[in-house]
Each structure stands twice: as structure tokens, then as C-alpha cells.
Amino acid sequence: MREMEPLADPVRDEVRIRVIYGGICGSDVGVYLGKLKHATYPLRPGHELVGTVTHAGPAATVKVGTRVVILPNTFCGECSYCQNGDTNICVQKKSLGVNMDGGFSQEFLISSKFVLALPDDLPNEKAVLIEPFAVVVHAFKKVKITKGTSVCIVGCGNEGMLAAALAHHLGAQVTAVDINPHKLELVKQIGDIQAVLPEDMRLQSGQFDVVIEAGGTSSSVENGIQLVRPGGSMVVIGLAQEAIFPVAHVVRNELTLYGTIIYNFPSDYLQTIEYLRDPLFSVDAIVSSIMPFTSYQQAFENALSGKYGKVILSFNEA
Ligand SMILES: [Zn+2]
Ligand SMILES: [Zn+2]
């Protein structure tokens, strides 16, 4: 933990945020372990954030007292991608907690361009999932997942768990695969989901309409492709550095592979909020624990252990 200089008052369109909750993400754990190549110390992690606006600059677009979720990936609004609504592939994108300081702190300043007001009926425990869940909501737009679609989720980290929850919510027949039995136990708590180890998937090869690859390893990509039925699709969320797969298998079976990165703002955030507002969409199985930020070391160790779902830091004063 670092003691920070007192914050300056917000200028221009900036707002000062008092953080309520921050979710620990795989990339925060990567920063914590020093494994993220494009992140260099000293760096404050944290990008899955909800908080309250306590001060607003003269040109800010949100008022003091507003409860907000943060958009941690900035965009310029001017490049051809931004103009088209594809803020996720903006040429000037920067990421909070990766190549600039993040929000695991009691307070920070940010441009009000990068916050979104929350509806009153969305509790903080759900709102803190907006950022990671928007990744899944965006990915699902690549394919058609509806009642009865057979969907296989490969990798049950936080994104995989959220993907399993959304596919289940949409009425799909969901199978989830992970090498970690703890994750399989967690994913089963979402609902009627078949949760299996990779070695138990052999018989289901070539059977799924849609495979969501959220493992981010070469083997999860390579195994994922084998699971897609002829004419089906695989959506790759994970960031495997590389993978080797038979191109002829993809060609002969007319498979479609999609890459997908984060989300567009505000469209995907708004749709994510609508899913989370639905009382039928439960996140109890996904959020494992909420810990005070002063126990951050234990919280990161828990997130690393592979035994938990989403671990959340609370920045409320004890
Ligand atoms: Zn994240
Ligand atoms: Zn741009």
C-alpha cells in the first residue's frame, strides 16, 4: 500500500471518485506477479470499479453524489473506429491499471467521459461486475445464442463464469470445461450446467454450436476448435499468445473464429446493466468474497489460489 499525495481538485471535465468496490481481475493478478509485459512498476492496479462522485470539475457531465461505474479503457472519440462506435479498438486506447494508474485506492480523479451513472435499483455487488461482464456481453454479439443453443465454455475463470451465467440465462444448453475442479464446483452453482474436466470432453468433440474460449492458453484454443460442430463458431476471449491448430479442419468444417476485445462504450455497458438489473440474473455463484482493501494481500492470494470466483475489495471506511 502507498500513501498518496492529497488529490488536487478536479479541473475541466474531471470528477473525483470515492471508490466503493473494486473487483480483482486476472490482469490485476498479472500486474501483482509482475507478469504483464506492458505494465511497469510503480503501478496501481484496479479497473473494475464502482464509486460515488464527490467533487466535479466545471465541465463535468455528472453531478456530485452520482453513483457510477468506471470505463477503464479510454478512447479518443475521434479516430475512424471511435466514429463508428468501435471504441474498443480505438487507436489511442489506454488501460487503467495497466499502462496508467488504476483505481484500487479510496479516491481518484478521472475524466467524466469515462464514467457512467448507475440506475438506483442496481446494487453495488452487481454493479462491480459491469466491466468484466461487458466483455462477455460484447463477445456474445458475434454469435447467436438463444434457447436450446449448445454452448461450450472453455475455461472457467471470471470471464468464463460470466459467460456460463449469460449463456444459461439466455436458455442455452451449457457445458463448461476447466482443468480446476474448484472452478467446476463454482460453475455448477450457477444452475443447470454440465461442468467437466477436459479429458471428459472427448465424446463431445464436434458437437457444439458455439464455443466460447475463455481459457487463454494454447491448449484451450486447440481443444476448443475440436469441440465446434461443422458450420459452428468459436469466439475467442482469452489472450493465448499462440496456438497450433489444423487449418484444414477449420476449412473443411466451415468453422468461424471470432476474436473479441473488451466492449464498446456506452452501448455494451448499457446492455450489461440491463442483464444485471434482472432479478432472475443471480451473481451469487460468481462473487466469492468481499474483503476490506486493507486485506489486499490476502485478497490477491485468494484470487491467485484458483479456489475462488470473483474476489472484490471494499474501499468503504471500516
Ligand atoms: Zn478486468
Ligand atoms: Zn479513437
Ligand 1 centroid to Cα of residue 132, in Å, is 5
* Residue-averaged pLDDT of the chain: 94
Residue 159 CB burial class (10 angstroms; 0-12, 13-18, ≥19) = buried
Query: CA 181, CA 305: separation in Å to the nearest integer?
Result: 12
pLDDT tens digit sequence for 103-154: 999 999 999 999 999 999 999 999 999 999 999 999 999 999 999 999 999 9
Q: What percent of the chain has pLDDT over 70?
A: 99
The pLDDT of residue 1 is: 62
Give the number of whichever ligand sits closest to the CA of residue 84. 2
Half-sphere exposure of 30 (CA within 13 A, CB side): 13
Please, are residues 281 and 128 in contact by the beta-carbon 8 Å criterion?
Answer: no
Beta bridge partners of 256: 233
pLDDT tens digit sequence for 40-98: 777 889 999 999 999 999 999 999 999 999 999 999 999 999 999 999 999 999 999 88
Give the number of whichever ligand sits closest to the CA of residue 77. 2
C-alpha cell belonging to residue 173: 444448453
Query: CA 209, CA 35: separation in Å to the nearest integer?
Result: 35
Q: Is the four-CA dihedral 271, 263, 288, 216 of positive or negative sign?
A: positive
Ligand 1 centroid to Cα of residue 26, in Å, is 6
The pLDDT of residue 318 is: 55
Predicted confidence (pLDDT) at residue 306 exceeds the cutoff of 60: yes
> What are the structural domains of the chain?
14-133+263-314 (3.90.180.10), 143-259 (3.40.50.720)
